[in-house]
Amino acid sequence: MTLNMLLSHLPALQVVVPLLAAPLCALLRPRHLAWAVATLTSWVCLLISLTLVAQVQAGGTLRYTFGGWPSPWGIEYVVDLLGAYVLLIVSLIAALVLPYARRSVEREIDPEHHSLFYTALLLCLCGLLGIVITGDAFNLFVFLEISSLSTYTLISFGRDRRALTASYQYLIMGTIGATFFLIGVGLLYVLTGTLNMADLAERIVPLAESRTLHTAFAFILVGVSLKLALFPLHLWLPNAYAHAPSVVSAFIASTATKVAVYVVVRFIFSLFGYRFAFDQMQLDWVLLPLAIIGIFTASVVAVFQENVKRMLAYSSLAQIGYMMLGISLDSVTGLTASLLHLFNHALMKGALFMALGAVFYRIGSVQLGQMAGLGRQMPWTLGAVVAGGLSLIGVPLTVGFISKWYLILAVIEQGWWILAALVLVTSLIALVYMWRVVETSYFQPRPAGAVIAGEAPLSLIAPTWLLVLANLYFGIDTGFTIDLAGSAAAALIGGEP
Amino acid sequence: MIKSDSKPRQVVRPVITRLLMPYILLFGLYVQFHGDFGPGGGFQAGVIFASGIILYALTFGVARARSLLPPDSLQPLAALGVLLYGAVGVASLFMDGHFLNYSVLSSDPVQGQHLGILLIELGVGITVTAVMVLVFFAFFGRDEEGEV
């Protein structure tokens, strides 16, 4: 098989490589071997994603049909700008989380479960990549289930017994979400007789008045909103993030909700069409208030959390609100801001959760009180927390600033000054909750009798700081991300039939 | 649940199980390998096959079923089924087709389609059987040695 042929099969390999590496991991009993396979797989995935981005930028949308069945009948994988961009986010985070995982997993998970842990992690990666790359609505549901089921397992690996309840809670909510999504897809299938997204998009145009179509739209949107934890469907998220193993928190916080946001964007803009969604279904009247309430309440609740992971989980809810706010503005700038924030938020939350994982590695807790005085004992780890926090707040020269800047631009473009003020105020609330961590860890003495924590091992610090540096780099040289997000947004809104 | 001390009085269940089990397993295999001509396929076959084993476990005790199919061997089997499925796809990649294009597996496309779907469904069948039985064992608890 020549290189050129290999390149033409990349869309399939993007999903097939982790899918086949996962059972391989389950067969490998020596746990370091399982880790090595998983890490190698994640790097191969990153390489494939980077190549796909380059291919799409050079030659436009890629299509890959499975089994030689032509597209409306067979399953088709489609990589357009948006898809390539989200694939890159997911595999980039995976490629950084897995080298980090070895030491952290050794500390937090029973040795006999290591192989299965990496199997579940790879399946989750496979599911997330599959959701993004597939061009088939039912296939998307299958991948949604693959990623969700493996996520429930991953969360239940948490050291704390509360991880089991958190996982169960997520299982119930997630299953309801997936069922709603499937009902919606079923209705679309009844209506049009096709599951291929591009085909669906064409066939539903004359059906805009159909009640069935409206119902399908509502079911799909509610189902995915459960998955992306849109206020008020967010109740599963804080527990899931807080009690999952550190590696899992870092991975799912920076990928799973992003992929769910991608699904919303894909269905609104590529499938239903944004004119249908916003003009006929008045989606902005639903999304906008929910996004605003979500941003505000989650930010305020975050201030009062004692568990820092839970605090960041609430902060994630607020960030999801920003993304939905951008989408509900129904403009190219707004969508650009949302897509930009997908990438940027993955960088900042990845860095923060990984730094907290390093704290947990040393002191076995992420309670705020236990972290008092850690700043001097773990300078690099807490340094990463501070840098990630600055990015979260949106200080200039970080990616957070770029996201907020574009979001505020988009809001002002609509003439909604109050909303722009709200974004600034909630950034200040982020400052409050991040400051609590900084204040406790730097300006309070280490409690008497507390363990003296050394710096975390290099294999934890290095990936964390790589993400921190990415936070700074993409905050200064914004060309790559803005170009990708901007042209993806323009293609989505301009590409309307 | 019937306690183990009441075992000697059990006649009907073991006899019926011994009578039915071969047919259940055989029917499982029939559904498995007839799947490309008629209704059936790997998933259904896997469930039928696993239900035969579950019936055995319910009648003769989980401990004996565990020694028949040790959970340690079921887990690799579950993984192997998926790998078999994937391997067929990768094989078709190497034979110049798209992923899972069975036509290229043999010089005659129809033969290739037969071979491909047979292997794929076999992979599905193996994994479904293994996972069904594993789930059943898991519900009975890992450490329990006693009988049903």
Number of helices (H), then strands (E), belonging to chain A: the values are: 21, 2
Please list every residue in chain B whose beta carbon sits closer than 8 Å to the beta carbon of residue A64: 98-99
Q: Which of B78, B80, B99 has its CB closest to that of A12? A: B99
| CB burial readout A93-123, b (16+ within 10 A) else e | bbbbbbbbbbbbbebbbeeeebbbbbbbbbb
Q: Which of A23, A65, A68 has its CB closest to that of B83? A: A23
The answer to whether the CB atoms of B93 and A19 lie below 8 A apart is: no
B80 inside 8 A of chain A by CB: yes
The answer to whether the CB atoms of A16 and B90 lie below 8 A apart is: yes
Size of interface A-B (CB pairs under 8 A): 56
Nearest partner of B136 among B125, B121, B148, B124, judged by Cα: B148
Domain range list for chain B: 4-140
Cβ atoms within 10 Å of A57's Cβ, excluding its own: 13
| CA distance, residue B125 to nearest chain A CA (Å) | 16
Cβ atoms within 10 Å of B4's Cβ, excluding its own: 10
Among A178-182, A251-255, A413-417, whose mean pLDDT is lowest? A413-417
Cβ atoms within 10 Å of A5's Cβ, excluding its own: 11
Give dist(CA B145, CA B136) in Å, integer: 15
Q: Which of A9, A27, A68 has its CB closest to that of B76? A: A27
The ipTM estimated for the assembled molecules is 0.85
The answer to whether the CB atoms of B97 and A20 lie below 8 A apart is: no
pLDDT average, residue stretch A279-298: 89
Q: Which of B79, B87, B99 has its CB closest to that of A66? A: B99
| CB burial readout A294-312, b (16+ within 10 A) else e | bbbbbbebbbebebbbbbb
Instruction: Enter the pTM of the model.
Output: 0.92
A5 inside 8 A of chain B by CB: yes
Q: Which of B89, B96, B101 has its CB closest to that of A16? A: B89
Find the closest chain B residue to A64 by CA distance.
Answer: B98
Residue reference for tokens 């401990």: B63
A496 falls in which pLDDT band (50, 70, 90)? very low
Give dist(CA A41, CA A38) in Å, integer: 5
What's the pLDDT at B148? 33
Distance of CA A335 to the CA centre of its chain: 16
For residue range A115-133, what is the model confidence (pLDDT) as tens digits?
A: 889 999 999 999 999 999 9
For residue range A294-343, what is the model confidence (pLDDT) as tens digits?
A: 999 999 999 999 999 999 999 999 999 999 999 998 888 999 999 999 99
The answer to whether the CB atoms of B101 and A20 lie below 8 A apart is: no
Find the closest chain B residue to A17 by CA distance.
Answer: B86
For residue range B76-132, what is the model confidence (pLDDT) as tens digits?
A: 999 999 999 999 988 888 887 888 888 888 888 888 888 888 899 999 999 999 999
Residue type at position A206: P
Q: Which residue has the higher pLDDT, A453 or A205?
A: A205
The answer to whether the CB atoms of A67 and B98 lie below 8 A apart is: yes
| CA distance, residue A26 to nearest chain B CA (Å) | 7
* pLDDT tops 50 at residue B146: no
Residue reference for tokens 């029973």: A110
